[in-house]
Structure formats: C-alpha cells, structure tokens
Amino acid sequence: ITNLLSAIPYIGTDLVEWIWGGFSVDKTTLTRFFAFHFILPFIILALAAVHLLFLHETGSNNPSGIPSNSDKIPFHPYYTIKDALGALLLILALATLVLFSPDLLGDPDNYTPANPLSTPPHIKPEWYFLFAYAILRSIPNKLGG
C-alpha cells in the first residue's frame, strides 16, 4: 500500500523512503505505523470535539436560507436520558444473555475433547476462509507452487 506513493512524479520514491524510514519495510516502519494506528483515534476524537464545539457556538447552517425557529425541545435532558436508557437496556440484555446462558450461541464442536494424535475428518475452516481453503485444496501437493 505504501508503495503506491511511488507513483507520484518526482517525489514518490523519496516519500516512500521517508514513510518507511529506510529502503525497505522493517522494524522502523512497523513502529511508525503502530504509533500512527494508536494515535489516530485520539486525533479523530479531538477533531470531532472541535467540530461539535464550533457547531455549538455558531449553530447549524440551513441550506435553504429560511429561518427554522419552529418549536424545538432541548437535546439535554430529553434525548440524553432517552439514549442513556436505550444503552442501559441493551447492556442489560447482553449481560443477561452472557451471564445466564453463556453456551447459547456456542459451537457444539468446541466441547469435544481434543486429541492431538488424530485430526477429525470433518474439519473445515470458517466461511470467511473458504476461498483460501479452496485455493489451497486445488494444489495437489505442497511442492506444486
């Protein structure tokens, strides 16, 4: 993905080397991307807070230009209590499901004792890995490619 930046004329290769921290992907690159991956949600949260602050100060813009001073109710406490009650009911329902019936959504094959000396014949990957499993099964042996 980062190599796509090399398509930028004149500065592409320098930009890729700057992002990588060298001539190839190594420990420096992984450290940089991990730090970016960790910091990015906080940056997004700060930008959302600044956006809400500006929106609270100036108000929302009406694209039609007609003032809409109709009957309004304040967001807090009405919608805040409504949303908090909905979240509380959802958490209560999930906690009830997990605490009183933890095996309800479990796979029954997870409860058979494991035998490390024999592999059951019915084993197949989950549905989201089936495409890769089909590709793997189409090659007759491991040395075929």
Residue 83 appears among annotated catalytic residues: yes
What six digits make up the tokens of 8?
A: 């930028």
Catalytic residue among 60, 64, 70, 118: 60
82 is annotated as an active-site residue = yes
Residue 56 known to be catalytic? yes
Out of 6, 26, 51, 82, the active site residue is: 82
- Cα–Cα distances in Å, from 72 out to 28, 35, 44? 54, 44, 30
* Catalytic member of 57, 126, 138, 142: 126
Are 134 and 127 within 8 A, CB to CB?
no
| Residue in 6, 14, 51, 83 annotated catalytic | 83
The one catalytic residue among 56, 72, 76, 142:
56
Helices 27-58 & 12-20, crossing angle to 10 degrees? Answer: 100
Cα→Cα distances 92→79, 83, 84, 99, 124, Å: 20, 14, 12, 10, 35
Is the previous residue joined to 9 through a cis bond, with omega within 30 degrees of 0? no
Active site amino acids: 56, 60, 82-83, 126
